[in-house]
Chains A and B, each alone.
Chain A
């Protein structure tokens, strides 16, 4: 019987190996997100982008009203562009 002994740096190896794919998924989230909000949110569209930092790789908006566009508030319905983008990029499970 063989035994699988993971390398000490397996997490780094896997992270490096999947980096291009994770960036492409994040780019797809951004693409769908930019198509999934109201047409009058041009600044929001321009603020969408892929980030790669200590948090990992993902899609984000730096628009100051991004939380309202995503979640809505008492006066405005949620448009949820990033969640829609995540849903389109694969099976999306919120955490």
Chain B
């Protein structure tokens, strides 16, 4: 019998884990992984999974996921506060532990944010009011990319 590693949907896992963190309470449940609703309440955030290649080629046992985190809206300081708290949570609370979510159990290894947090500068365009009252229409105020080593928890490795 072949033992298969069955990876959970890590993007869904990260979403559920992030929503549960009290330090990100200012986002409420406004962390999105797909399209953002047309009627928006700021601040809000988006998680995008970019890639997740295997650490060891050909094993598919442990992957290194590349995720992009975007935080929109609010004041520049407020969005930076959220983004920086998020980085700290990923590095200090997510890494090195097993986590249980409704999307599956997983173990997170090393977390790195190689570029740190990038902040966009407001311009008249990004500050403009749109017809439906949105602000900051074009760009995220803060963005960072995290590389997270991930593997399924033992219960998800089966034959």
A joins B in a complex: yes
**B-binding residues in A (CB < 8 A):** 71-75, 77-78, 80, 83-84, 87-88, 93-95
- Residues of chain B from 99 to 145 with CB closer than 8 A to chain A in the complex: 114-115, 136-140, 143, 145
What are the residues of chain B within 8 A of A74 when measuring CB–CB? 36, 40, 72, 136-140
18 contacting pairs across A/B (C-beta < 8 A):
A71-B68, A72-B48, A73-B138, A73-B140, A74-B136, A74-B138, A74-B140, A77-B34, A77-B46, A78-B68, A80-B50, A80-B68, A83-B66, A84-B50, A84-B51, A94-B114, A94-B115, A94-B145
What are the residues of chain A within 8 A of B145 when measuring CB–CB? 94
A72 to B140: give the CA distance in the assembly, Å: 9
Distance in angstroms from B13 CB to nearest chain A CB is: 18
B114/A93 in contact, CB under 8 A: yes
Known: A72-B70, A80-B68, A84-B50. 8 other contacts (CB 8 A): A71-B143, A72-B48, A73-B139, A74-B136, A74-B140, A75-B35, A75-B36, A87-B53
A72 to B143: give the CA distance in the assembly, Å: 11
What are the residues of chain B within 8 A of A71 when measuring CB–CB? 68, 143
Chain B, 41-74, contact with A by CB distance < 8 Å: what is the 0/1 string? 0000010101101000000000000101010100
What are the residues of chain B within 8 A of A93 when measuring CB–CB? 114
Interface of A: prevailing SS:
loop
What are the residues of chain A within 8 A of B40 when measuring CB–CB? 74
A61 to B36: give the CA distance in the assembly, Å: 26
Distance in angstroms from B98 CB to nearest chain A CB is: 26
What are the residues of chain A within 8 A of B140 when measuring CB–CB? 73-74
Distance in angstroms from B134 CB to nearest chain A CB is: 8
A83 to B48: give the CA distance in the assembly, Å: 13
What are the residues of chain B within 8 A of A95 when measuring CB–CB? 114-115
Name the residue of chain B whose CB is nearest to the CB of A77: B48
Distance in angstroms from A40 CB to nearest chain B CB is: 16
